Amino acid sequence: KKPKHVGGFLSDGGVHHAAAMRLILGEIEWVSAVAKDLSPLLGGMDFLSSIFEFENGTVGNYTVSYSLKGKERFEITGTKGRISISWDRIVLNEEEIRVPQENSYQKEFEDFYQVVVEGKPNDLGSPVQALKDLAFIEACVKSGGNRVFVSSLL
């Protein structure tokens, strides 16, 4: 009920969102955010709204709530179009691509097995990459509306 790690629910799920953003658009330079505890049932911060800038100059925003109802989506809108990603489909501008259902936990364990037993490089799931994802969430939580440079937490 009372998470001891930074961000609680926000970091539990948010690190995966941060990983996706960084994979697609690169490293995040700074963030300004507000985090709130909206539901006493969750025992910690459960809402976050942020604006940030990637090192390449792209500006983004990230809003997440674990206490409010709504449809989950991941969307990137730019000068050349829009991509929206959900569990079962990807929409690129007006083109819809269906995504087959997979057991993501099984794939994760298979990948882990290949890294440990077979010595496969672990580029996407490396500790350094995970630390960068967590640093983004920590910057959001610590921001209080002020600009925080993500690199200052690494």
Q: Does residue 146 lie within any of the structural domains?
A: yes
Q: Does residue 4 lie within any of the structural domains?
A: no
Distance CA 128, CA 111 (A): 17
Q: Does residue 93 lie within any of the structural domains?
A: yes
The 10s digit of each residue's pLDDT in 103-130 is 888 988 898 899 999 999 886 678 899 9
- Tally of domains within the chain: 1
Q: Does residue 126 lie within any of the structural domains?
A: yes
Q: Does residue 80 lie within any of the structural domains?
A: yes
Mean pLDDT, rounded, of the chain: 90
Q: Model-level pTM?
A: 0.86
Q: Does residue 1 lie within any of the structural domains?
A: no
Please give the residue range of the domain that contains residue 124. Answer: 9-153
The 10s digit of each residue's pLDDT in 62-99 is 999 988 887 888 899 988 899 999 888 999 999 999 99
Q: Does residue 3 lie within any of the structural domains?
A: no
Can you give the pLDDT at residue 4?
Answer: 72
Q: What is the CATH number of the domain that holds 101?
A: 3.30.360.10
Distance CA 112, CA 117 (A): 8
Distance CA 14, CA 63 (A): 10
Q: Does residue 120 lie within any of the structural domains?
A: yes
- How far is C-alpha 142 from the chain's CA centre? 16
Rounded mean pLDDT, 27-32: 98
Distance CA 134, CA 139 (A): 9
